[in-house]
Amino acid sequence: MLVVTALLIGLLSIAVSQPPATNFSQYEGFQEHFLAFPRQPSAATGQERVLLERYRPRLFIGIGQEGPISFYDDYIAHGTLYDMRGDIIGHEPSRALLNAHKDDPHVVFAHTPVAPTSTPVVFARIDQADVPDAGVFTFLTYHFVFRQSGIPTGTPRWILNVMSWLTDLHDWHQLDHYTMARVVLDRRSNPIAVVLQQHNYVRSYILGRDMSFPSDYRITLDTALNSNELYPHLPGHQARRAVPFMTAKNLPYLITGEHMPWIPTNDVTNPAHEVAYRLDFLPHTDAFYSFQGYLGERRWFPGRSGPPGADYNTLPRFKPLAVELVAFNWREGDRKHMQHLINFLEHPFRQQEIFTTLATHFRADVACQLHKNRVDCRKHITEPEDSKKES
């Protein structure tokens, strides 16, 4: 154990020898994505706001957990905006000042923590996307905002002990706004699914099968301790398997618990009380979504710098809303879907082909729920090719 600990400390020392080279907003593919799916320059209309209020989620946090805050009032209003040379652009910047610099990937906002004084604000928006052979679906998106993101509570204890010598376990990086929930309505306005951001990937849940849908239209979510990830509500202490980024290699661990990584990680939820918050509505072009710089201190260790805007939440090829909904609708223990998803992750040139297969399965599963048919549609799923046998 001492040898492993020494090795880990050595690797951490190497990692902190230089800052990350570029902001994630500059990752190849984002520019093409936002050209194909341009951001809407206006906020939700009055009718859309009524719809967003109707479906807004209930959120539970644990004892002692700070919970969400107001992005502009509690976070941006307390800190300093810097240019690429480290010169001050402005103290306690306004929303207008932040937006004036949203297209510069080198700008850094460093937050100065203070006790929240405002009612937590959740930013809500509406998007639409065509789901193959199913029509245009409506995506009601809610972004919860947390001051900082910490190390998952379910990380092995010896790792937490080592990391606590080097960093604050509750403050891995400033700002956590990759905490998103989407309620999905089909072309007939039936609520059929939920998409949740968890770390740097998403997972979709079919309502009535993967999570319950209450009569008041408001889904119930739990926030993971320290890491703030969103999960369907379950009472008591719950461990949820997690990885930093979803890959073909770690997907079996997420879905089956097998092939455990060297450092297995669990998010932990233990809901204690519901959060009171209000909705606000921003244009999709606002800096909250589109900021290309760092919305938190730039730190030396990889992954510790503040994130860019909320739209840069995962790899560009996984961002289309139909892909989020269909491809990442996996269930624990479902090996057939797992193999399809492994192929999807490993073979970008076959993404459309595999997506088409997964879309067929998704439509059948949703139809089962809408028609109150309790037959498990997964038994009809097409057998996937073994990824290792593919060229």
* The predicted structure's pLDDT at residue 165: 87
Q: DSSP assignment of 204-230, as one string?
A: EEEBTTTB---TTS--EEEEPTTT--E
Which of left, alpha, beta for 54 (phi over 0: left; psi -120 to 50: alpha)? alpha
Please enumerate in sequence order all residues whose Cβ is within 8 A of that of 206, keeping only pairs 6 or more positions apart, or say none: 192, 193, 329, 362, 365, 366, 369
Sheet-wide strand order for 278-280: 201-206, 191-198, 180-185, 135-143, 121-131, 278-280
Which of 199, 293, 286 is closest to 246 using CA atoms? 199
For residues 105 and 24, is the Cβ–Cβ distance under 8 A?
Answer: no
* The predicted structure's pLDDT at residue 384: 59
The answer, yes or no, to whether residue 391 has pLDDT greater than 90, is no
* The predicted structure's pLDDT at residue 13: 41
Q: Which tokens belong to 316?
A: 């560009």
* The predicted structure's pLDDT at residue 231: 98
Which position has the higher pLDDT, 383 or 253?
253
* The predicted structure's pLDDT at residue 12: 47
Report residue 377: phi and psi, to 5°: -65, -20
| Stretch 339-346: mean pLDDT | 94
* The predicted structure's pLDDT at residue 21: 62
With 0-12 / 13-18 / 19 or more C-beta atoms within 10 angstroms meaning exposed / middle / buried, residue 333 is: exposed
* The predicted structure's pLDDT at residue 3: 35
The answer, yes or no, to whether residue 166 has pLDDT greater than 60, is yes
Helix 2-15 and helix 157-166, axial crossing angle in degrees, nearest 10: 40
Q: Which tokens belong to 113?
A: 């923590």
Residue 197's alpha-carbon distances to 57, 91, 258, 389, in angstroms, are 14, 31, 22, 32
Please enumerate in sequence order all residues whose Cβ is within 8 A of that of 356, keeping only pairs 6 or more positions apart, or say none: 132
Which three-class secondary structure state does DSSP give residue 257?
coil
Which position has the higher pLDDT, 389 or 117?
117
pLDDT in tens, 41-99: 999 999 999 999 999 999 999 999 999 999 999 999 999 999 999 999 999 999 999 99
Q: How far apart are the first and last CA of the chain?
A: 41
Single-letter code of the amino acid located at 272: A
Please enumerate in sequence order all residues whose Cβ is within 8 A of that of 337, keeping only pairs 6 or more positions apart, or say none: 255, 329, 330, 331, 358, 361, 378, 381
The answer, yes or no, to whether residue 241 has pLDDT greater than 50, is yes
**DSSP H or E stretch at residue 122:** strand 121-131
* The predicted structure's pLDDT at residue 302: 82
CA distance 264 to 345: 21
| Stretch 330-340: mean pLDDT | 92
The answer, yes or no, to whether residue 318 has pLDDT greater than 70, is yes
pLDDT in tens, 199-235: 999 999 999 999 998 889 999 999 999 999 999 999 9
Name which of 240-244, 317-321, 371-375 the model is least confident about: 371-375
* The predicted structure's pLDDT at residue 333: 92
The answer, yes or no, to whether residue 8 has pLDDT greater than 50, is no
* The predicted structure's pLDDT at residue 116: 81
**Cβ atoms within 10 Å of 132's Cβ, excluding its own:** 15
Number of H helices, E strands in the chain: 10, 17
* The predicted structure's pLDDT at residue 7: 39
Which position has the higher pLDDT, 117 or 112?
112
For residues 86 and 20, is the Cβ–Cβ distance under 8 A?
Answer: no
Helix 335-346 and helix 351-370, axial crossing angle in degrees, nearest 10: 150
For residues 312 and 24, is the Cβ–Cβ distance under 8 A?
Answer: yes
Q: Which residue has the tokens 């570029």?
A: 22
* The predicted structure's pLDDT at residue 273: 96
* The predicted structure's pLDDT at residue 263: 86
pLDDT in tens, 9-51: 444 443 443 455 679 999 999 999 999 999 999 999 999 999 9
Query: Please, which pLDDT band fits residue 171 given cuts at 50, 70 and 90?
Result: very high
The answer, yes or no, to whether residue 245 has pLDDT greater than 80, is yes
Name which of 7-16, 68-77, 144-153, 261-270 the model is least confident about: 7-16
The answer, yes or no, to whether residue 382 has pLDDT greater than 90, is no
| Share above pLDDT 90 across residues of the chain, in percent, rounded to a whole number | 78
